[in-house]
Amino acid sequence: MIQAVRTALGDKAVIDDAHDIEPWLHDWRGRYHGATPAILAPDSTAGVAQIITLAAAHGVPLVPQGGNTSMVGGATPPADGSALILSLRRLKRIRHVDPTANLAVAEAGVILADLHDAALAQGRRFPLTLGARGSATLGGLASTNAGGTQVLRFGTMRSLVAGIEAVLPDGQIHDGLAALKKDNRGYDLDHLLVGAEGTLGVITAVTVRLVPAIAARAVAWVGLSSPHDALRLLHALESTTDAIESFELLPAESLAAVLRHIPATRAPLAGAHRWHVLIEAVASDAGAEPPAQLLERLLAPALAAGLAADAVIAASEAQAEAFWRIRDSLSESERALGPAAQHDISVPVERMPDFMLDAAAACDARFPGTQASGFGHLGDGNVHFHVRAPAGMDAAEWYGDLAPVVTSYVHDLVTAAGGSISAEHGIGQMKLAELQRLAAPARMAALRAIKAGLDPHGLLNPGKLLALARGPATP
């Protein structure tokens, strides 16, 4: 197989030096470790198609890999060395940016930050962003339906992908880049590939939507007494404007941790509040109501009604950045508090306030000495729910023994609340067993039937998302 690829695509398309392969055998957090005899690195869609055709002929499994920033081991090859890595990093052309149609076509290996720059250079914006924007690639972002901090208004990758080019498991190229706004010619292959984690096809390029560049923004910090009030406030805002792009909730203890551990941070409000919300409003129309004025107009009645206890609108861009720095430092400051079990979970938005309080209380009661709390994207029904180890507990003991039990317990609570054990990170290797344990049988049967229909020999990203690599399924 390796020789066949070398013959078909040349030496540059095969990396088989162990030293060059090494960095790509592990996930970036160092939790998953794999092995492979070679990385295949084509530089075109046609090259990807040739490789997948050869893999089908030789019966060789392939693990697609972009920036290797998966949070769930989704791009790490199996440890037995049975699969080859298919790197998309050389497919790195931004084929075009069309500021009139508000569309861009980027190959799978294009890095998110580069797309941001290319859009900005044309007076447009690609609104999805996240911490790994300097490494994560468009192919990986689409394959995992990535989220991030600006989902509230523009949605996850699924909402921003207008078309997909992919190589299917039989080696044929699906070209959906034309980005038709209306197209009812049968099953939507693009939506099927988004979030499929490379198990149904390998995305080689995406057409993404752009939005107007930001003309003005305003950032507010609000103190309030409960997640319930926070959600009511969000609804009050959203019922009259769609300019709200971020609505991030955090408890007092998270703010305190930031103020204690992150240099040069200060509390935005003078008084003490049990909960805090950061709100960003954005205008793209320079002639429209300025976002600061909009927030003032909409927050005033909320304060008068007691929905919010106090609020301040950043008076300068520097102050706005300072507010955001608190939010962006939450993970770093939490690490300073010691080991924790972290969960990327979602429940229906309306249930999130109850869930945050009830699940934290249930965890605290069930695991004495631990401290549970959630923070994050309230408006998406998605928080990062962390359970911190009891003070003084050894990290090895926590991660080895207690944390997995805590995680199963949290996942049970999420499932009981009608939620998802993976809001934005996907399943990969990490959550495969939990998905199998908790998903409805109807859902698992359907996922398996789709996988068996499209990839009957289980050659694409084996061992991810679904435990299925047994050849064609029989009904």
Residue whose CB is less far from a second copy, 40 or 438: 438
CB 130 → a second copy: shortest distance, Å?
13
107 vs 380, beta carbon nearer a second copy: 380
Min. distance of Cβ 18 from a second copy in angstroms? 33
- The closest alpha carbon to 129, from 231, 252, 282, belongs to 282
Query: Minimum distance between the CB of residue 288 and a second copy, rounded to whole angstroms?
Result: 7
Q: Which is nearer to a second copy, 258 or 307 (CB)?
A: 307
Q: Are 146 and 194 in contact (CB under 8 A)?
A: no
Q: In the bound complex, what is the minimum distance in angstroms from residue 194's beta carbon to a second copy?
A: 7
Nearer to a second copy, 197 or 334 (CB): 197
| Sheet strands side by side (includes 310-313) | 310-313, 216-224, 275-283, 244-251, 371-377, 382-388, 340-346
Q: How far apart are CA 197 and CA 203, in angstroms?
A: 10
In whole angstroms, the minimum distance from the beta carbon of 234 to a second copy comes to: 10
Write the CA distances from 30 to 33, 198, 277, 463, integer angstroms.
Answer: 7, 21, 33, 18
Q: 275: number of CA atoms within 13 Å, CB side?
A: 24
Q: What is the DSSP string of 64-116?
A: EESS---SSSTTPPPTTS-SEEEE-TT---EEEEETTTTEEEEETT-BHHHHH
SS3 407: helix
Pairing of strands 124-125, 275-283: unpaired
Closer residue to a second copy in complex, CB, 33/235: 235
Nearer residue to a second copy within complex by CB, 73 or 339: 73
Shortest Cβ 170–a second copy spacing (Å): 7
Q: What are phi and psi for residue 371, nearest 5 degrees?
A: -135, 120
| Between 225 and 284, CB nearer to a second copy | 284
Closest contact distance (angstroms) between CB of 201 and a second copy is 8
Phi, psi of 283 (to 5 degrees): -120, 135
